[in-house]
Amino acid sequence: MVQNKLQILPHLPGVYIFKDLSQKPIYIGKAKSLKARVSSYFRESRRDWKSDFLIEEIHDLDYIITKNETEALLLEAQLIHKYQPKFNVLLKDGQPFIYIMITQTEMVQLKLVRNKKEKGTYFGPFLYKGQARSIYKFLVNNLQLHLCNKKITQGCLQYHLGKCAGSCKENFDKENYLFRLKLATDILNGKTDILETQIKEEIKNCNKNLAFEQSKKLNQILENLHHIISTIKIHFNSDRYQGDEKTIFENNSLDSQELGKKLASLLQLSDEPKTIDCFDISHLQSFHIVGSCIRFTHGIPDKNNFRRFKIKQLSLQNDYAALSEIVQRRYKNIEDLPDLVLIDGGKGQRNVIQELFPKTNVISLAKKEEKLFSSAYKEGQIITSKTDEGRILIALRDYAHHFAITYHRTKRGAFLIKN
C-alpha cells in the first residue's frame, strides 16, 4: 500500500503521516518536497537503525499538501500535539503554539497567550516561542504598554523608568496609551518600515560607538520581527485541514464517483466532472511570467497531461492576457478539453476564459476568502475545506499554484546564471 502511494506523492510542501496496521499515526513529519522526503525513508543507503524500527511498523501513508514550508511546520506541530505519535519525540507535550493578542476588555491591552480563549484580535500562531516573546517584550517596553495593578498618585517606579503605561496614576492618559497600542497593532499587521529604519539606524550608531553587544541584540530583534511578520502573513488556519488527514486525491472514505457527484451538485452541472484542468500564472515583479496547467482524472494527478508555459506575447505583467495565452495554447486541439476548467483567480479571470470556451464549464477560485465563481455563482460563493467538494477544489488550486511556482523558480534561476 505504501509503495503504491509513493508513486503519486507530489513534489510539493506538506505534512506526511505514517500509520500502523490499525491506522494509528506513528510518525508525522513535514517536508519541502513530500515525494523527496518520504521516498528517502525507503532508500537503504540513507537508512539507520532508527529508520529501520519505524519502517517495520509502517503499514499506510497519508499526506496533506500545504501552501508553503512554514505552514507545513505549523500543521506538523498541531498534528503531533493532537495524535501523540510514538516515534515523534518533540512537540508532544503542552501547547505547541503561542499567540500575541489585543484584548477586547474594558482596558484594552497587548498580551502573550497560549490559547485562543478570550475575545480579541490574535496574531499567530507562532511555533518559535522565543521569537514571539522577544517581539512582545520589545513592543511592550519600547511603546510603554505595560499596565500595572497599583494606584499611586505620581505613578509607580516602573512608570518613571519608562516601562509602565501609567495606569497606576490618577490622571492616566488613556488616549495616548491607546495611540501607542495602535502603533503596536500596525507593526504586527506588517507596517514596519519606520520601525525597521529606526532599528537599523540604532545598529549603525552602536557599531560606530563599539557597542557590539547592543548591536547584536538589535539585529536579533530585527530578525525576529521579520520572522514574526512573515508567519502572520501566512494567515495559518488549522481549520483548513480539519478532517483532512487522508489525502483528498485518494480518500478511502470517499471514492471518485461520490466526489464527482458532490462537485456536480455544488457547481450545478448536468454531468459529473471526471477530468479537471487547473491553471495558474506566476511572475516576479512583472517579469519572467510563466504558467502551468495540471490535470486530474478521477481525482488522481494525470502527469502525462501536465503542461508548463513560458509566456511569449508579454514582457510586463497582465494576468488576464497571460492566462488567455496559455489556455488557448493548451487547447489548440479542441478535443483535449476537460470536463471542468479551474482557474486560480477571481471573477475577471473566469470571465475571460469562459468567453474563449463558452461550451466548457469554467470556474475560478480566489485566494484568501476562498471565493468560488462559476455559471451558478456569478457573484461568488465562499467555500470551505470542511466539505469534501470544497477541500478538493482548494487543494487542486493550490497544487496548480505550486507547480507554476516550481517552474518559475527554475526559469528565474536559469536567467540569473545566464546573466
Specify the CATH number for the domain of residue 37: 3.40.1440.10
- Give yes or no: residues 168 and 195 share one domain: yes
- Asked whether the predicted pLDDT for residue 59 surpasses 90, the reply is no
- Give yes or no: residues 228 and 261 share one domain: no
Identify which has the larger pLDDT, 378 or 48: 378
- Asked whether the predicted pLDDT for residue 48 surpasses 80, the reply is no
- Give yes or no: residues 75 and 120 share one domain: no
Identify which has the larger pLDDT, 275 or 402: 275
Answer with the one of 211, 234, 257 that is the final residue of a domain.
234
Answer with the one of 189, 212, 234 that is the final residue of a domain.
234
- pLDDT at residue 246, rounded to an integer: 40
361 part of a folded domain: yes
Residue 286 belongs to what domain range? 247-418
88 part of a folded domain: no
- pLDDT at residue 418, rounded to an integer: 37
In whole angstroms, what separates CA 121 from the centre of its chain?
19
- pLDDT at residue 15, rounded to an integer: 92
CB 280 within 8 A of CB 345: no
- pLDDT at residue 259, rounded to an integer: 78
- Give yes or no: residues 222 and 264 share one domain: no
DSSP letter string, 357-406? STTSEEEEEETTTTEEESSS-TT-EE--TTSHHHHHHHHHHHHHHHHHHH
Q: How far apart are CA 93 and CA 81, in angstroms?
A: 7
Most confident range, picked from 63-67, 105-109, 332-336, 396-400: 105-109
- Give yes or no: residues 385 and 271 share one domain: yes
93 part of a folded domain: no
- Asked whether the predicted pLDDT for residue 409 surpasses 70, the reply is no
24 part of a folded domain: yes
Q: Helix 347-356 crosses helix 319-330 at what angle (to 10 degrees)?
A: 40
The counts of H helices and E strands in the chain are 13, 14
Q: What is the pLDDT of residues 224-268, one digit of tens each?
A: 888 888 888 777 766 666 544 344 344 434 456 777 888 999 999
CB 143 within 8 A of CB 183: yes
- pLDDT at residue 255, rounded to an integer: 57
Answer with the one of 24, 57, 83 that is the final residue of a domain.
83
CATH number at residue 286: 3.30.420.340
Q: How far apart are CA 140 and CA 355, in angstroms?
A: 55
206 part of a folded domain: yes
Run of H or E residues at 39: helix 34-40
- Give yes or no: residues 50 and 167 share one domain: no
Neighbours of 40 (CB within 10 A): 14
- Give yes or no: residues 67 and 134 share one domain: no
Question: What total of structural domains would you count in the chain?
Answer: 3
- Residue carrying C-alpha cell 507554476: 404
Q: What is the pLDDT of residues 130-166, one digit of tens each?
A: 889 999 999 998 888 888 888 887 888 888 887 888 8
- Give yes or no: residues 69 and 201 share one domain: no
130 part of a folded domain: yes
Q: What is the pLDDT of residues 61-93, one digit of tens each?
A: 888 888 788 888 888 988 888 888 988 876 666
- For the ranges 150-164, 276-290, 399-413, the lowest mean pLDDT is seen at 399-413
Q: Across the chain, what does the average pLDDT equal?
A: 81
Residue 414 pLDDT grade (very low, low, confident, very high; cuts 50, 70, 90):
very low
- Give yes or no: residues 118 and 225 share one domain: yes
Q: Helix 212-234 crosses helix 129-142 at what angle (to 10 degrees)?
A: 110
Cis ω for the linkage preceding 25 (within 30 of 0): no
- pLDDT at residue 16, rounded to an integer: 93
- Give yes or no: residues 74 and 188 share one domain: no
Q: What is the pLDDT of residues 316-330, one digit of tens each?
A: 456 788 888 889 999
- Give yes or no: residues 251 and 230 share one domain: no
242 part of a folded domain: no
- Residue carrying C-alpha cell 495540471: 294
**Closest by Cα among 391, 380, 312 to 347:** 380
- Give yes or no: residues 43 and 122 share one domain: no
- pLDDT at residue 381, rounded to an integer: 92
228 part of a folded domain: yes
Rounded to 5 degrees, what are φ and ψ at 147? -110, 125
**In the numeric block, which cell numbers belong to residue 321?**
492576457
- Asked whether the predicted pLDDT for residue 118 surpasses 80, the reply is yes
- Asked whether the predicted pLDDT for residue 393 surpasses 80, the reply is yes
